[in-house]
């Protein structure tokens, strides 16, 4: 079974803190994705990566950066957390040209 894990299920941070969210997949997938999910808005793509050290902006990249130093690991970084970044963050992975994405359990981030 494909397994996608995220470093934390729940996280509480203060405004201005630097926040790291980590995602690890164990199926040698080329593609990895970071989404945020908000009520009424659905999942929105923040960044994705199709290879080590490669990254592409999604629909809402402002305030976020990413890092992919190893194929299995994709990190989302909030350089200076703000209250409007309080959300559920979901990571997913897939093979290069596959539309079947496998999702992690999500991290519910609260910024106070």
Under the rule (CB under 8 A), what is the footprint of another protein? 9, 31, 33, 35, 40-45, 48, 50, 56, 88, 90, 92, 94-101, 103-106, 108
Q: Which is nearer to another protein, 16 or 105 (CB)?
A: 105
Q: Which is nearer to another protein, 26 or 56 (CB)?
A: 56
Closest CA to 23 of 105, 82, 94, 111: 105
| Closest distance of CB 83 from another protein, Å | 21
| Closest distance of CB 79 from another protein, Å | 24
DSSP-derived secondary structure for 8-51: -SEEEE-TT--EEEEEEESS--SEEEEEEEETTTEEEEEEEEEE
Q: Which is nearer to another protein, 69 or 97 (CB)?
A: 97
3-state SS of 71-105? CCEEEEEECCCCHHHCEEEEEEEECCCCCCCEECC
| Closest distance of CB 74 from another protein, Å | 13
């Amino acid at each position: 079974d494909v397994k996608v894990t995220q470093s934390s299920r729940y996280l509480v941070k203060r405004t201005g803190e630097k926040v790291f969210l980590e995602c690890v997949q164990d199926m040698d997938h080329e593609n990895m994705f970071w989404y945020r999910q908000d009520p009424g808005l659905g999942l929105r793509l923040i960044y994705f990566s199709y290879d080590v050290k490669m990254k592409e902006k999604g629909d809402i990249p402002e305030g976020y950066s990413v890092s992919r130093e190893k194929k299995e690991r994709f990190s989302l970084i909030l350089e200076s957390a703000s209250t409007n970044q309080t959300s559920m963050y979901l990571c997913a992975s897939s093979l290069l040209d596959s539309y079947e994405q496998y999702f992690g359990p999500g991290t519910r981030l609260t910024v106070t």
